[in-house]
Amino acid sequence: MSKFRFALNIFAITIFTLTVTMIGHAQSRTWVSGVGDDLNPCSRTAPCKTYAGAISKTSKDGEISTLDPGGFGAVTITKSITINGGNGGQGYGSILAAGVNGVVINITDAADVRKSVRLDWLNINGVSTGLDGIRMVAGNTLHVSNTVIDGMTGDGIDMDYSAAHGTASTLIVENTQIRNCGGNGIRTDAFGAADKIGAVISNVWVTKCNIGINFVNGTLGTVDNSTIAKNTSHGLQVGEPTSGSNMNVSSTLVANNGGTGVNVLNSSRARIASVKIFQNNVSLAPANLVDSGGNNSIAGNTTNTAPGGPSPFAEN
């Protein structure tokens, strides 16, 4: 009997040790579920309840995967990671961001070489009280794909560096809808010339925000195959307080915005090719800061202004 009890004790200790190890050890992949529990180890068979609960159990450069539809809560990210909201098949990974930012990215760890965050198949709902949908204040790269951001009082996506950090950053947004934002649909602020942001915006809809897309302070970016419409102020804006920005726009609809379709400030510049600018208050301004590929359509605006800059586009 004593040997049997001894074996049971050893077995219990082993199970306890394995459980503690699983809980304490960060895994390269963790899982969340609408019926999960953050006390779980976030494994496939014992998922967590929220992204915030899973992130501490996910290793740097790892991935949080979503098993089924649910509300997974706002999250602050301080390391390179992927959050996959379900790849469409299971529905979006929902983040209810009432009164708060949906996702905050603040990666400052020098040992984190990539400083890269990938967000895929998320539905971030600010219910008209949320701050920013996605806000990046420190890090090198942000990828946003297949995502819906709605109902924020601030910006849909804001890559905003409030101080110099001495390195270039990258923003890539694709196959995404941003709507009903009190601020900008997408805003980048590189802080200065030494901290340039390279932005690629493709197949994105921005509607019912204040400014659709706003590149500020040393942003060099492209908007392609997108729709920027029904925004209160300008559709596209490029400018700076201290360091000039460039915006290249191709195969994009800019329509029904309350201000200027393409608005350029100070010494910044916009280049447009195969762009349709319809029914805004002003098509574009000032004309001499907008370069044209010579193949744009501008009509139905209260003031129809044609591009006045040179054509920088090489034809093959």
What per-residue confidence (pLDDT) applies to 168? Answer: 84
- Percentage of the chain beyond pLDDT 90 is 78
274-287 pLDDT, tens digit per residue, is: 999 999 999 999 99
pLDDT band at 201 (very low <50, low <70, confident <90, very high): very high
Average pLDDT of the chain to the nearest whole number: 89
Query: What phi and psi values does residue 53 have, to the nearest 5 degrees?
Result: -70, -30
92-117 pLDDT, tens digit per residue, is: 799 999 999 999 999 999 999 999 99
Question: Which are the contacts of 40, defined by CB distance < 8 A and separation ≥ 6?
Answer: 46, 47, 48
Domain regions of the chain by residue span: 69-299
With 70 as the cut, is the pLDDT of residue 9 above it? no
Q: How far apart are CA 82 and CA 85, in angstroms?
A: 10
Fold of 69-299: Pectate Lyase C-like (2.160.20)
Peptide bond into 41 cis (omega under 30): no
Q: How many CB atoms neighbour CB 19 within 10 A?
A: 12
Bridge partner list, 199: 171, 221
Averaged pLDDT, 15-21: 44
204-254 pLDDT, tens digit per residue, is: 999 999 999 999 988 999 999 999 999 999 999 999 877 789 999 999 999
Averaged pLDDT, 129-155: 97
pLDDT band at 190 (very low <50, low <70, confident <90, very high): confident
Angle at 92 between CA 86 and CA 97, to 5 degrees: 125
What per-residue confidence (pLDDT) applies to 131? Answer: 98
* pTM for this prediction: 0.90
43-78 pLDDT, tens digit per residue, is: 999 999 999 999 999 999 999 999 998 899 999 999
Bridge partner list, 310: none
Kindly write down the DSSP assignment for every residue of 37-95, as one continuous string: -TTS---SSS-BSSHHHHHTTEEEEEEEEE-S-EE---EEE-S-EEEE--TTTT--EEE
